[in-house]
Amino acid sequence: MGILLFLSQAAVPLVIFYIVGFGILQRRPVLDDFLDGAKKGMATVVSVMPTLIGLMTAAGVLRASGFLDFVSSLLAVPAQQLHIPAQIIPVTLVRLVSNAAATSLVLDIFQSAGPDSLEGMMASILMSSTETVFYCLSVYFGAARILKTRYALSGAMIATGAGVLASILIAGQVAGK
């Protein structure tokens, strides 16, 4: 365990020294390259910020308005047939948009059912095996100014479905033992 701790603490300084040393050996103006990269990074942040604000606002509105509870109640019967607890439905839906809002819902599940419950384990596995699809697509494609996303959305939704299925199966196996 001590060696892992040492390696994790030494990794960042070693990478920084490697990059600076490589730049110096290549006779690159390291500071100028760093400042140019920082300027481009700030420009990217500024261009992506409206999308981020819109997504965060949408996630908050969905949760506060009761629409998320309404959709969850509509999906409760089909979800029950797939052995998905009712508390997992909102997490699955919100996870597509916002990690922070989904984490908040998972913490609510932990408080009500416990982290070692079927719902808690399923929510934990779901959070680690799915992605914030709409957030990532809008931020990354928006930053790169890609308008035609081709199969990115369908591929991401299939991967999310696989993550949800994995969370159901794995948590069911663990809870069944």
Tens of pLDDT along the chain (177 residues) come to 688 888 888 898 999 999 989 989 999 998 899 899 999 989 888 888 887 788 778 877 887 888 888 988 899 889 888 888 889 999 999 899 888 888 989 999 999 999 989 999 999 999 999 999 988 888 888 778 888 888 999 999 999 999 999 998 998 887 665
Backbone angles phi, psi at 15, to 5 degrees: -65, -40
Q: Is residue 10 part of a domain?
A: no
Q: Is residue 1 part of a domain?
A: no
Q: Is residue 122 part of a domain?
A: yes
Q: Is residue 18 part of a domain?
A: no
> How far is the C-alpha of 152 from the C-alpha of 120, rounded, in Å?
30
Q: Is residue 135 part of a domain?
A: yes
> How far is the C-alpha of 73 from the C-alpha of 109, rounded, in Å?
17
What's the chain's length in residues? Answer: 177
Q: Under DSSP, is residue 23 helix (H, G, I), strand (E, B) or coil?
A: helix
> How far is the C-alpha of 91 from the C-alpha of 110, rounded, in Å?
12
Domains held by the chain: number: 1
pTM of the predicted model as reported, rounded to 2 decimal places = 0.70
Range of the domain at 168: 48-176
Q: Is residue 56 part of a domain?
A: yes
Beta strands in 90-175 (DSSP E): none
Q: Under DSSP, is residue 19 helix (H, G, I), strand (E, B) or coil?
A: helix
For residue 166, the one-letter residue type is A
Q: Is residue 32 part of a domain?
A: no
Q: Is residue 35 part of a domain?
A: no
